[in-house]
Amino acid sequence: MKQLGLTSIAIALTIFGIGIGVGAARAETPIQAGEWESTEKTTMEGVQPMPATSKKTCLKGDDAKLERLLFPTPDEIKQHNCKYEEGAKKAGVLSATLVCPPSDVIAGVTAKAEISYSATSYEGLGQIEAKDKSGTVIKGSSALSGKRLGDCP
């Protein structure tokens, strides 16, 4: 199987990486403000296993929304000409799809996520498909989780 360049995959994963963008009419999912730890474990077909990544984020005031932990900023989404669609609405579940077209330097990405959440934690799965301009496709998945650690330092 042909492989997409690792840089393309890294950029694609950053866009999904938990990355789905925002749309003008999109509802946002409030969570408790404070310091959050987010963890992601991604596997891609035909690519060496990647170690799990973890990051801490401080959410204050109006930024205390699940989308701020999982998705790139609206400016990043716009910069990559991505399209965001919310999935079916269910209590305690955030479902969304992000489609970003390929460019000369990065692969296009279709990413779907379904995240179960509460005010202090979340977990779920993402499905990723990266496709470069030549048509090479790599599929993968991400296990996503996070928890509120306490107040921001």
The per-residue pLDDT for range 86-98, each reduced to its tens digit, is 888 889 999 988 8
- The yes-or-no verdict on residue 6 having pLDDT over 70 is no
- The yes-or-no verdict on residue 1 having pLDDT over 80 is no
Tell me, what's the pLDDT at 94? 92
73 inside domain: yes
Lowest mean pLDDT among 27-31, 35-39, 98-102, 110-114: 27-31
Range of the domain at 41: 6-21+36-148
Tell me, what's the pLDDT at 89? 82
The H or E element containing residue 145 is: strand 137-150
119 inside domain: yes
Give yes or no for a contact between 96 and 112, defined as CB atoms under 8 angstroms apart: yes
27 inside domain: no
% the chain with pLDDT above 90: 41
Can you tell me the mean pLDDT for 126-149?
Answer: 91
Can you tell me the mean pLDDT for 53-73?
Answer: 88
pTM comes to: 0.77
31 inside domain: no
Query: What is the tally of structural domains in the chain?
Result: 1
- The yes-or-no verdict on residue 52 having pLDDT over 80 is yes
153 inside domain: no
Tell me, what's the pLDDT at 27? 58
Tell me, what's the pLDDT at 18? 37
Give the Cα separation of 129 and 16 in Å (integer).
Answer: 10
30 inside domain: no
28 inside domain: no
- The yes-or-no verdict on residue 9 having pLDDT over 80 is no
53 inside domain: yes
